[in-house]
Structure 1
């Protein structure tokens, strides 16, 4: 018997159809309702529950909260839920916190919740035990990697679990954006941590969707990893390219897209520095590190658009203090070709050949080959 703890945020996504770009806060909720918005989270939860393979529905027990926090949807979908917490209506984030804790204490094997990124944050903040979760997408913004790609997909994954299919567990990021900034057209996402999800890659979103990376989500994951990595009172140079630009955007700092900026305590302290200026920073700050990305369709790391990172800078700083960030899609597009360093110094290019760790997501990295083997063509 699979015991599911069900949580529904009845107001998730309520601001989307009326162009409020979110549903966080009672004031937004009231304005959305006044504008004629419909509450659809329960409907989406019903779709998920009804999509569970009928052959295995009797292998599922549902624990939930009263009314629209889960009882209504579970009953509508044909289950007989056990209500373990009576909730006042309308529910608030604190009710999600309390219900999450109650479900864990009652022995839920998995927490299933319907909502958006705000709901994922609420579950994350209250979950004190490392048990799997799965989100039913119902919010205006779904940056987090803990959601199924559709409500029906969530039901399919639940059916797989009830059937006894072996699904790996992996960590997925809990992201949320600043809704106030979003309403001004600025997407400013932040990573709040991670939760464990069943890894059914075709159906669970994470940084992939249908087996393909969703670039904006992957870039946010990479930025979250870099920002978490940054130590206080340490200088970092952020190189050129859109992947690096997204790091600066998530820091809330201006960016020189085709240049190198210097960051200290997550604030930009120098913009578009020259090679000599960067070398001076490196000489004065031996703990400094540089973040670069793959530039150009041929896979260049050094020598295309980031000549400020000169041979002198590399030798002084050390190759191990130059970090590389890139999406797996960009690496895959190289079709196995190595990354290229073209510093202008052939001896240094040869010294940098080998493999390099590439940051490809939040707590996710790969090893990739660097350097051309000219002997292959001789």
Structure 2
């Protein structure tokens, strides 16, 4: 059996709920109740994997981990005695991630699995120096790279494929965008780019596509925004997700959206909050008479096709539980729709992914719609 390293960035993903667009440079003391989203995902990942590998002989499987919540705790959900290869500081930093990835390389790991976002991916890549395959489990706010599995479930299936030798080697991209520009201007600017070895299942495509930085024309976006805005009544409470198309719709509705990747809330001509946090969204839904009265305008995330749970983590699960697919307005330019294969939701073990799956009408122009199917990731 192979050696598999597991490295967890325990604070990745906090940028979504508190609307920071990423956790790079954020001090642990500033996180409060939000600490640990990626750590929690690592536990879910390990438990789900344990269910799938039930009945397999794992006596020779060796799992290499950092001490504590950077890997050891999650790995103990799988096997009794994972091998501790490094002792990170507490609180940990990107330097700990790099060092532990380097130790995994020195221990000749066959595969390095990491839980986090694009920043974690680059740290692991730099630590391993590209010597072995990497597999990302999406746990961060910024997950634009194709080195990541499409979802937590996809990652577990890839590990099973790896253990069963039902995989093939391939190459994944790692993209890192400038967090300061994201936070301050909502601007997507790639500051680092690399490719790394990874694995793919022979049975199905389990990796996501990298963020598509190709642009739809401004005229196409403006036309779609004007059409959508005309169809919305003044009394309708709205949550508007991230993206260029959503920002144009927000402007057409007169709801402020200063950040391209933020979530805005309000009514036609009235802003409740701009760049809302999860708590802001909860308050807005309560003041609107309940989440079931609110419509959510979303555009698929890049070329990956995610409409919920990826890129708009400011919308909490508790709000989505009060909604149905009828509350969701999916919008996309014709140019984007032509590049998409499917739409996805990734609500991470919440038990409500099926509720937001099925066929949906995607608005692509004035009185013009396209029916697409949403799948659980």
Give the shorter-chain TM-score range: 0.5 to 0.7
Secondary structure of the 1:56 match is coil
Q: What's the CA shift for 1:162? A: 0.7
* Cα deviations by residue, 1:206-232 (Å, 9 ceiling, x for unpaired): 34xxxxxxxxx1336xx9xxxxxxxxx
Which residues of 2 match residues 1-378 of structure 1 at below 5 A? 1-27=1-27, 29-31=28-30, 33-34=31-32, 36-52=33-49, 53-56=53-56, 58=58, 60-165=61-166, 167-183=167-183, 184-200=185-201, 201-207=204-210, 217-219=211-213, 329-330=338-339
Structure 2 CA distance for aligned equivalents of residues 144 and 126 of structure 1: 18
Q: Describe the shift of the 1:112–1:75 C-alpha distance in structure 2 as closer, same or farther (beyond 3 A).
A: same
CA distance in 1, matches of 2:208, 2:339: 19
Q: After TM superposition, give the deviation of residue 66 of structure 1 in Å.
A: 0.3
Shift of 1:88: 1.8
Shift of 1:104: 1.1
Contact in 2 for aligned 1:172/1:206 (Cα 8 Å):
no
TM-score normalised to structure 2 length:
0.53
Displacement of 1:42 after TM fit? 1.9
Runs of 5+ consecutive residues of structure 2 not aligned to the other structure: 219-334, 342-377
Alpha-carbon separation, structure 2, partners of 1:72 and 1:169: 29
Q: Give CA deviations for 1:65-105 in whole Å, capped at 9, x if unaligned.
A: 10011001111344421101122211111111111111111
Task: Identify if the C-alpha distance between structure 1 residues 218 and 191 changes in structure 2 by more than 3 Å, giving closer, same or farther.
Answer: farther
Task: Give me the CA root mean square deviation.
Answer: 2.7
Structure 1 unaligned segments of length 5 or more: list them. 208-216, 224-239, 243-325, 333-378
Give CA deviations for 1:237-287 in whole Å, capped at 9, x if unaligned.
xxx957xxxxxxxxxxxxxxxxxxxxxxxxxxxxxxxxxxxxxxxxxxxxx
Pairwise CA distance, 1:331: 11
Q: Secondary structure at the residue paired with 2:154?
A: helix
Deviation at 1:23, TM superposition (A): 0.5
Q: Does structure 1 retain, via aligned residues, the 8 Å contact 2:135–2:198?
A: yes
Alpha-carbon distance between aligned partners in 2 of 1:127 and 1:328, rounded to the nearest angstrom: 37
Q: Distance in 2 between matches of 1:151 and 1:72?
A: 17
> Once the 2 structures are TM-superposed, how far is the Cα of residue 148 of structure 1 from its aligned partner?
0.9
2:98 counterpart SS class = helix
1:130 Cα offset (Å):
2.8
Taking structure 1 as the reference length, what is the TM-score of the superposition? 0.53
Match of 1:352 in 2: none
Cα distance 1:187–1:155, how it changes in 2: closer, same or farther (>3 A)?
A: same
Q: Please give the secondary structure, in 2, of the residue aligned with 1:51.
A: helix
Residues 115 and 193 (structure 1), Cα distance of their counterparts in 2 relative to 1, 3 Å cut: same
Indicate the structure whose relative CO is greater, using CA pairs within 8 Å and at least 6 residues apart.
2
Matched residues in 1 for 2:340 and 2:138: separation?
Answer: 29
**Shift of the alpha carbon at 1:135?**
0.6
Contact 2:130 2:196 in 1 (8 A): no
Please give the alpha-carbon distance, in whole angstroms, between the structure 2 residues aligned to 1:189 and 1:145: 14
